[in-house]
Chain A
Amino acid sequence: MIQHIHLRQVVPVPLVETASKESAIWFAERHFEKGKRYLISSESGKGKSTLFDFLYGRRHDFTGTILFDEQPIAEFRRRDWNRLRQHHLSIVFQGFRLFQELTVWQNLMLKNQLTHHLSAAQLEQWLEAVGIADKKDTLLQFLSYGQQQRVAIVRAFCQPFDFLLMDEPFSHLDTANQQSLCDLITSEVEHRGAGLLLSSLGDTYFFNFDEQLAL
């Protein structure tokens, strides 16, 4: 269980020279509380994806300290990260990191078999809700970018989480789809009492954020 995330004077090593001192996150004391929604906005190249990589344990090249419930994540071992990624942290990568050679259903089952979080019926409902139920048995490589984005979002729900990290998740969706997805995500995050960290180039989409932070 992660109740809150604490960033203490964190800055990516490659950005030590260039990161802005006015940044709401870099070089700052920053807290993310479970149950709250945060927008992290900036133009490209300021380190939005890098922040998510740090929080998700994919990269470790930062100065300062990141603490989950006051435990430095630098102390975490592979085993800890595997557990976090299965039960406490869920992410929608900017590039999705889905498997192109698997069908939509296989992509979801792969994750769900690891966590056993959703039933097959629940999964079908999710596909229905995001509007790609008819693509269930289609190989991912034959899906449009926007459709893949929705698969990635459903996959993120295939596990319990305390925080949901979303890295520019709506870049290829029309407004109508964005709105329906935002509603789905908001209700799901609220239902789970989880925190949401969402990055965008400045767009707030259709969320009610508790805090808006500029990198």
Chain B
Amino acid sequence: MILWHLLRKNLALGQLIGYVLATLLGLTIVLMTLQFSEDLRPMFNEKEGIFAHDYLLISKKVSVFKTLGITKSSFSKEELQELADQPFVNRLAPFTTATFKVYASLSMGNKMANLGTMLFFESVPNSFLDVTPTDWQWTQGSHFIPIILPRSYLALYNFGFAPSQGLPQLSGSMLSHINLTIDVTGHGKEAAFQSRIVGFTDRINSILVPQSFMDWANNEFGFGNEEPTHLILEPKNIADPTMKSFFSSHEYEVANDKAAASEASSFLRMLIIVVLSVGAVITLLALGLMLLSIHLLIQKNHERIENLSLAGFSSAVISKPYQYLVLVVNGVIFLLSMLLVIYLRHDYIALFSSSMHVDQARFLWNNFLWGAVIVAALTVINMFWIFRKVREICR
């Protein structure tokens, strides 16, 4: 006690508060960023996140020759095999295009009004879809065909077509309650099916029906499955450079539906790294500030420390009051920082809750550990520094 009474002289409260605030800021930024990236991790997740697989849509370039039918715009079996054999391909599937005519009409029940339009159908294997609605199946003999529509079509209707035509805007769930009649004709046959929009896709820009229906209907009403004109491809690594050169050498056109999302993802990652570094730098500067203040404090108490040493006090004993001070201050910083992280996280979860789901329970106990490790490291460095500086004075 007397020792503390003696050694606290010249303690600069301002410097101490400065250290507390700076370290608190740096540590909170670091921990907040870690927590934030942990909360966002499901979105980066390979399997389910919004930045999940990158899919590429491959087609051939349309040229005058192709329009004239001199060269084919479809993929032959050999071309498909060649592509499938490329090392960058994880999996690959052709789009199946309907080779029959489709007419969709809106039945209002009493047949007072009958809105209808020609349509086209395409299909891809189910495993390439980003949605799997419950009604998404067709078996032979069934009179119900489920349809998946690109979400962009709905947007196009709601924000483009509907306002200009004075039509009401529709939500996805409203649309999926509308019963459609599908008339299929071709090969001298015709058939009528009931239909409904069962889901919306963000991945594929086409009107989709189940593959099973397409295979059956193409044989029944068309002339079998044609060679595909475009393909969906899941690469092993979207950034693979050999992929790009392969496509350009074969004059294939590539549309990447996830390009924007992928850019956003990498941008976000970069942002997290930058913010994390800023936090780390602030923490390091705060540490530097503290080491400097300790040095100053011990120099100011030079004579007291020397006299204590001459009275028989060891460097370790003289260091203790300062080391306890650092321990307490860093403990307070740790607790404050944790409270801040919890509070801020609560805030941003509320902010994001409309656009994404953040697992509340996912609070990082790891994060707690990280905080503890950083604070412990700071404390150890400070304590060692105190001991060293005191020892320099002791005789």
A and B form one complex: yes
Q: Provided the pairs A57-B395, A58-B395, A78-B315 are in contact, do residues A102 and B6 lie with their beta carbons within 8 angstroms? A: yes
Determine whether the beta carbon of B2 is less than 8 Å from that of A110: yes
Chain A residue nearest to B312 (CB atoms) is A85
Residue on B nearest A56 in the bound complex, by CB: B310
Q: Are B5's CB and A102's CB within 8 A?
A: yes
Contact B307 A99 (CB under 8 A): yes
CB-CB contacts below 8 Å: A50-90 with B: 56-59, 78-79, 82, 85-86
Contact B394 A113 (CB under 8 A): no
Cβ of B311: which chain A residues have Cβ within 8 Å of it?
A: 85, 97, 110-111, 114
Given A97-B307, A99-B304, A99-B307, A109:B312 Cβ within 8 A: no
> In the complex the two chains form, what is the Cα distance from A113 to B3 in whole Å?
10
B9 beta carbon closer than 8 Å to chain A:
yes
Could you tell me if B310 and A58 are in contact, using CB atoms closer than 8 angstroms? yes
Q: For B312, what are the chain A residues with a Cβ–Cβ distance below 8 Å?
A: 82, 85-86, 111, 114-115, 159
A82 to B5, alpha carbons, bound, how many Å? Answer: 22
Interface string of B384-395 (1 = CB under 8 A from A): 000000010011
With most chain B CB atoms within 10 A of its CB, the pick from A56, A101, A110 is: A110
| Chain A positions within 8 Å of B315 at CB level | 78
**Inter-chain contact A110/B3, CB cutoff 8 Å:** yes
In the docked arrangement, what's the CA distance between A78 and B306, Å? Answer: 13
Within 8 Å by CB of A101, from B9, B308, B314, lies B9
B216 within 8 A of A: no
Q: Which residues of A contact B313 (CB under 8 A)?
A: 82, 114
* A142-200 with Cβ < 8 A to chain B: 159
Please, which residues of chain B bring their CB within 8 A of the CB of A97?
306-307, 310-311
Write the nearest CB–CB distance from B296 to chain A, whole angstroms. Answer: 19
What count of chain B residues pass the 8 Å CB interface test?
Answer: 18
Total interface residues in chain A, CB < 8 Å: 24
Q: Is the contact region of chain B dominated by helix, strand, or loop, or is it mixed?
A: helix
Q: Which of B308-324 contact A (CB under 8 A)?
A: 308, 310-315
Contacts of B391 in A (CB 8 A): 78
Residue among A57, A98, A99, A102 with the most chain B CB within 10 A? A99
| Alpha-carbon distance between A34 and B339 when the two chains are bound, in angstroms | 64
A78 and B314 form a contact (CB under 8 A)? yes
Any B CB within 8 A of the CB of A106: yes
- Smallest Cβ distance from B227 to chain A, in angstroms? 89
Q: How far is the CA of A58 from the CA of B307 in the complex (A)?
A: 10
Known: A102-B2, A102-B5. A79 touches B314 (CB 8 A): yes
- Chain A nearest CB from B393 CB (Å) reads 12
Q: Name the B residues within 8 Å of A79 (CB-CB).
A: 314
Residues of B within 8 A of A113 (CB): 2
What's the Cα separation between A56 and B310 when bound, in Å? 8
For B1-30 the 0/1 string (1 means CB < 8 A from A) is 011011001000000000000000000000
Contact of A106 among B2, B9, B314, B394 (CB under 8 A): B2
Across the interface, name the chain B residue whose C-beta is closest to A58. Answer: B395
A141 to chain B, nearest CB (A): 12
Chain B residues with Cβ under 8 A from A91's Cβ? 310
Q: Is B9 in contact with A109, judged by CB distance below 8 angstroms?
A: no
Query: Which A103-117 residues have a C-beta within 8 angstroms of B?
Result: 106, 109-111, 113-115
Name the CB-closest residue of B to A105.
B2
Which residue of chain B has the shortest Cβ distance to A86 in the bound complex? B312
Q: How far is the CA of A102 from the CA of B8 in the complex (A)?
A: 12
Give bound CA distance, A92 to B394, whole Å.
18
The chain B residue sitting closest to A113, CB to CB, is B2
Which residue of chain A has its CB nearest to the CB of B307? A97
Distance in Å from the Cβ of B222 to the closest Cβ of chain A?
96
Give the docked Cα–Cα distance between A111 and B2 (Å). Answer: 10
Could you tell me the distance between the alpha carbons of A79 and B312 in the complex, rounded to whole angstroms? 9
Instruction: List the B residue with the shortest CB-CB distance to A84.
Output: B312
Quote the shortest CB–CB distance from B209 to chain A (angstroms): 87
Interface centre among A86, A98, A106, A114 (most CB of B within 10 A): A114
**Nearest-CB residue, chain B, relative to A109:** B2
Which residues from chain B contact A78 at a C-beta distance below 8 Å? 314-315, 391, 394
- Complex contact B6–A110 (CB within 8 A): yes
CA gap between A146 and B4 in the complex, in Å? 28
Cα–Cα distance between A12 and B304 once the two chains are bound (Å): 26
Considering the chains assembled together, what is the distance between the CA atoms of A114 and B310 in angstroms?
Answer: 12
Q: For A159, what are the chain B residues with a Cβ–Cβ distance below 8 Å?
A: 312
* Residues A101 and B310 in contact, CB atoms below 8 Å apart: no
Instruction: Give the one of A78, A91, A113, A115 with max B CB within 10 A.
Output: A78
For A101, the chain B residues whose CB sits under 8 A away are 6, 9
When C-beta atoms are compared, the residue in chain B nearest to A89 turns out to be: B312
Verify B310–A85 contact, CB threshold 8 A. yes
Q: How far is the CA of A86 from the CA of B314 in the complex (A)?
A: 10
A110 to B317, CA, bound (A): 12
CB distance from A52 to the nearest CB of B (A): 11
| Chain B residue with Cβ nearest A79 | B314
Contacts of A115 in B (CB 8 A): 312
A-B residue pairs, 7 tightest by C-beta = A85-B312, A86-B312, A97-B307, A82-B314, A110-B2, A58-B395, A106-B2
Identify 15 residue pairs between A and B in the complex whose beta-carbon atoms are under 8 Å apart, listed by A's number.
Answer: A56-B310, A78-B314, A79-B314, A85-B310, A93-B310, A97-B311, A99-B6, A101-B6, A102-B6, A110-B3, A110-B308, A111-B312, A114-B311, A115-B312, A159-B312
